[in-house]
Amino acid sequence: MELTTILPYAVFGCFAIISWIVFNVLTSKDSRASERLDELKTPAPRSLDGEGQGVGNMLSKAAPALSKAMKPKTELEENQLRVKLANAGFNSPNAPSVFLALKFAGLIAGFLSGGGFGVIKYGLNYNGLVSLVVGAGIGMFLPELILRFITHSRVQKIFLSLPDALDLLVVCVEAGLGLDAAMRRVSEELQDTAPDLCAEFDLCNLQLQMGRQRREVLHDLGVRSGVDDLKALAAILIQADKFGSSVAQALRVQSDSMRVKRSQLAEERAAKTAVQMIFPLVLFIFPGIFVVLVGPAAISMINNLLTK
């Protein structure tokens, strides 16, 4: 084999070995003192006698080292990242570091796969460099796209299930339950039909039991959910708690407003249906009708022309 044929494979092998070494250095084990401190902070793994040492545990241990390169520079950026993850339902304190670690791992995987594909197919030229950069970019931004998809799906589920939860919350409050007990009751009743909203209510109840002020808990509920209507509900409940007004009346007004909004949204989607049906009609239905109606006449005309 010629040197020009072997050189691309050798360069790719060097890149792969260097990346593997860097990965091993970043994910190296901590000292025994650090492991003992981790065991004292979280005694559950120590009691399992080696259980739970799977991929998730390994990723959680390697996440702080992998996420150092992409750690936010300011506290504002870090808070924005936490809010973005909370909107998708990831409320764990380790969620930002795990997410950044996944982005870094995706960057390395995309770099290796894109570089390998570019070197094998194009060699060491401009196209190979473009393939390397594109692969690294796709690997880095793929977790971001998945996170946006999860956030959009979760926000839609909470938005659609919120009016029913508010109606049940109004019934519970008017029956004499307090707001905390009413939220707990709603969470128990709607656990199967609205799990995302019930998870938010359960977290609120847990924070209230831990001694946090109701204003802070309701404010965090609105920010954490990412739903504008739930933010408005949290603001109304905070004002009702601050000025001592009726919580049931505030909930009823918000419930009626949200039900009207959902009805208007359904009417808007129904009105768009007529316009959206034009494209499948023109592309799929009209050609079939045209063939059925005009086809026999066209065949008769062709036969008449051939006989003449």
- Do residues 163 and 221 lie in contact, with contact meaning Cβ atoms separated by under 8 Å? no
DSSP string over 241-259: HHHT--HHHHHHHHHHHHH
Question: Quick one: pLDDT band at residue 48, thresholds 50, 70, 90?
Answer: very low
Query: How far is 185 from 214, CA to CA, in rounded Å?
Result: 17
Using one digit for the tens of pLDDT, what is the confidence trace for 51-74?
Answer: 444 445 555 555 665 566 667 777
Mean pLDDT in the chain?
76
Structure token pair of residue 275: 């316009």
Using one digit for the tens of pLDDT, what is the confidence trace for 236-252?
Answer: 888 877 877 777 887 88
What integer pLDDT is reported at residue 23 of this predicted model?
63
Higher confidence at residue 55 or residue 230? 230
137: pLDDT strictly greater than 80? yes
- Do residues 95 and 85 lie in contact, with contact meaning Cβ atoms separated by under 8 Å? yes
116: pLDDT strictly greater than 70? yes
- pLDDT exceeding 90 applies to what percent of the chain? 0
Structure token pair of residue 88: 């998708």
- Integer CA distances (angstroms), 138 to 28, 68, 85, in order: 27, 20, 20
Query: How far is 22 from 268, CA to CA, in rounded Å?
Result: 54
DSSP 43: -
- Which range in 99-108, 111-120, 146-155, 245-254 is most confidently predicted, on average pLDDT? 146-155
What integer pLDDT is reported at residue 45 of this predicted model?
43
What integer pLDDT is reported at residue 267 of this predicted model?
87
Q: What is the mean pLDDT of residues 148-161?
A: 87
Query: How far is 177 from 185, CA to CA, in rounded Å?
Result: 9
Question: Quick one: pLDDT band at residue 47, thresholds 50, 70, 90?
Answer: very low
Question: Quick one: pLDDT band at residue 32, thresholds 50, 70, 90?
Answer: low
Let me know if 240 is exposed, middle or buried by CB neighbors in 10 A (0-12, 13-18, 19+): middle
Let me know if 136 is exposed, middle or buried by CB neighbors in 10 A (0-12, 13-18, 19+): buried
What integer pLDDT is reported at residue 38 of this predicted model?
61
Question: Quick one: pLDDT band at residue 46, thresholds 50, 70, 90?
Answer: very low
293: pLDDT strictly greater than 70? yes
DSSP run (H or E) holding 47 = helix 44-47
What integer pLDDT is reported at residue 50 of this predicted model?
42
- Do residues 63 and 98 lie in contact, with contact meaning Cβ atoms separated by under 8 Å? yes
Question: Quick one: pLDDT band at residue 39, thresholds 50, 70, 90?
Answer: low
What integer pLDDT is reported at residue 228 of this predicted model?
83
Residue tagged 């004499």 (tokens): 176
Query: How far is 263 from 96, CA to CA, in rounded Å?
Result: 37
Higher confidence at residue 203 or residue 307? 203
Query: How far is 21 from 30, CA to CA, in rounded Å?
Result: 17
Query: How far is 117 from 15, CA to CA, in rounded Å?
Result: 13
Query: How far is 147 from 163, CA to CA, in rounded Å?
Result: 26
Question: Quick one: pLDDT band at residue 187, thresholds 50, 70, 90?
Answer: confident
Name the phi and psi angles at 93, rounded to 5: -60, -25
What integer pLDDT is reported at residue 199 of this predicted model?
86
Using one digit for the tens of pLDDT, what is the confidence trace for 237-290?
Answer: 888 778 777 778 878 888 888 888 888 888 888 888 888 888 888 888 888 888
235: pLDDT strictly greater than 80? yes
DSSP 281: I
Higher confidence at residue 41 or residue 192? 192
What integer pLDDT is reported at residue 8 of this predicted model?
63
Query: Nearest-5° angle of CA 217, CA 220, CA 249?
Result: 65
- Do residues 100 and 67 lie in contact, with contact meaning Cβ atoms separated by under 8 Å? yes
What integer pLDDT is reported at residue 27 of this predicted model?
55
